[in-house]
Amino acid sequence: MARIIALENESKKDVITQKASLLFIKKGFPSTSMRDIAGAIGVEAPSLYNHITSKNDLLREICFRISRVFMNHLKKVESSRQTSLGKIEAIIRFHIYMMIHEFENMYITNHEWIHLHAPAVSDFKLQRRNYRSRLSAILKKGITKKQIRKLNADVAVHTMLAAINGIEGWHRSGRKVDARELEENMVEFLIEGLKK
Amino acid sequence: MARIIALENESKKDVITQKASLLFIKKGFPSTSMRDIAGAIGVEAPSLYNHITSKNDLLREICFRISRVFMNHLKKVESSRQTSLGKIEAIIRFHIYMMIHEFENMYITNHEWIHLHAPAVSDFKLQRRNYRSRLSAILKKGITKKQIRKLNADVAVHTMLAAINGIEGWHRSGRKVDARELEENMVEFLIEGLKK
DNA sequence: CCTACCGATCGGTAGG
DNA sequence: CCTACCGATCGGTAGG
């Protein structure tokens, strides 16, 4: 019984998060009011607070869930038996996959995290910095082993991640590109730019 | 005399725009209040309205000035005598230059344009679309002439522009990278990815 | 350039 | 899940 109630709460919260995500993308986090979210669901704003803690908490959960997913993936890649270039390609493909299949939460994480509150915002920045410096380490190893072009590794990491995050422009403009074609073209562009 | 007053008004307006830009970057456009801007200058909020029309108008002027600069540059490149790859490199270098030297206004234009009001927002999207499809045309010509790798041109345009706009991450994190090193590494990465 | 102030809207709480 | 409502804050105007 307690189990059923818990499940009902979770699913209602998921509905809120989902509707909120779409509005955050459309209007931005600060311009989306709790009344907007409530209206999209069909309830009054105060009712939302039976399921969530605060508007900012909604944002926090989205950003940290995405952050966790990338951290877990990175750990697997780091401990895999592949060349450095192979690892980078796996990471690139995973970022592309996430931009396509988790677009809403990716967009919000990439753009609205600045509105996180006091401890969360610095935790988030720290995780991000850590993630990128570990990518940088993989690139540097690949450069040493002459698999990767001699580039400034930090510049290369920022460049390739930004390029992939640019897939958002695709969703926004509503252009029709096959996901597979997008992935293959982007991977070729980036890998050929990196490959020695 | 009228001339002098006009110049004074312009310069005061420039101060407002400049201070507002910094706040828009730090807090986002919607979360920046007119009181924030006024406070940063040292006046009361209503005083701002002697120099500007509205908060949204401030955003509009920033976005359309940047848009105009890119359109003018593109026109020059299009009519220049260079290979397609040469044109693309010139455009890449110009985008990098702008991201470094006009960072504040570039950041706002890239991120906050969604908050533009009714006719401006669609004008802006139209200009953007037009600009990108003209870059795409240059790429396609380069592919036909076998100067450029056979890629989906729209994907390539989005990818390279997003990559360059990613320079914002650099400013934000406050990392120290020499502008010249940043430019050369990024150009090499992107051009080698495009070159046949 | 200011003070005084407007109507609207915000996130969130009380109480049921 | 609702109504009723809070204090705060918003963009902007009036009037000087």
Q: Mean pLDDT across chain A, nearest whole number?
A: 93
State residue A172's pLDDT score: 75
pLDDT digits (tens, 9 = 90+) for A62-75: 999 999 999 999 99
pLDDT at B5 over 50: no
pLDDT digit string (tens) for A4-61? 444 554 689 999 999 999 999 999 999 999 999 999 999 999 999 999 999 999 999 9
Q: Which nucleotide is nearest to A46 (CA to C1')?
A: C12
Which residues of A, range 135-154, sit inside 8 Å of B by Cβ? 149, 151-152, 154
Q: What is the DSSP letter of A110?
A: H
Give me the amino acid identity at B180.
R
Of A27, A154, A188, the CB nearest to B175: A154
From chain A, the residues in CB contact with B114 under 8 A are 27-28
Between residues A174 and B114, which one has the greater pLDDT?
Answer: B114
Which residue in A159, A1, A144 sits closest to A83, CA to CA? A144
- Considering chain B, what percentage of its residues have pLDDT values greater than 90? 89
**What pLDDT, on a 0 to 100 scale, did the predictor assign at position A1?**
38
- The per-residue pLDDT for range A168-183, each reduced to its tens digit, is 988 777 777 899 999 9
Near-strand C residues (CB closer than 7 A): A 32-36, 45-46, 49, 54-56; B 12, 38, 41-44, 46-47, 50-51
Can you give chain B as a three-state secondary structure string? CHHHHHHHHHHHHHHHHHHHHHHHHHHCCCCCCHHHHHHHHCCCHHHHHHCCCCHHHHHHHHHHHHHHHHHHHHHHHHCCCCCHHHHHHHHHHHHHHHHHHCHHHHHHHHHHHHHCCHHHHHHHHHHHHHHHHHHHHHHHHHHHCCCECCCCHHHHHHHHHHHHHCHHHHHHHCCCCCHHHHHHHHHHHHHHHHEC
Nucleotides of C under 7 A from a protein CB: 1-5, 9-15
Q: Inform me whether the pLDDT recorded for B138 exceeds 60.
A: yes
| Mean pLDDT computed over B116-120 | 93
Taking residues A91-117, report their average pLDDT.
Answer: 96
Cβ within 7 A of any strand D atom: A 12, 38, 41, 43-44, 46-47, 50; B 32-36, 45-46, 49, 54-56
Query: Residue A2 pLDDT more than 60?
Result: no
Task: Out of A9-13, B23-27, B96-100, B184-188, pick the least confident.
Answer: A9-13
Distance of CA A3 to the CA centre of its chain: 31
Residue B7 has pLDDT above 80, yes or no: no
Cβ-based contacts of A192 with chain B (< 8 Å): 149, 192-193
pLDDT of residue A8: 52
CA of A60 to C1' of C16 (A): 31
A196-to-A11, A110, A146, A149, B193 alpha-carbon distances in Å: 49, 30, 7, 4, 11
Instruction: Give the model's pLDDT for residue B3.
Output: 42
The whole-number Å distance from A44's CA to D3's C1' is: 10
Cα B34 from Cα A41, distance rounded (Å): 32
Distance, in Å, from the CA atom of A5 to the CA atom of B2, rounded to the nearest integer, reads 73
% of chain B exceeding 70 in pLDDT: 95
Chain A residues with beta carbon closer than 8 angstroms to that of B127: none
In this model, does residue B4 exceed pLDDT 50? Answer: no
| Number of CB atoms found within 10 A of residue B4's CB | 8
pLDDT in tens, B55-84: 999 999 999 999 999 999 999 999 999 999
- For residue A10, the model assigns a pLDDT of 60
Query: Percent of chain A scored above 70 by pLDDT?
Result: 95
B166 has a chain A CB within 8 A of its CB? yes
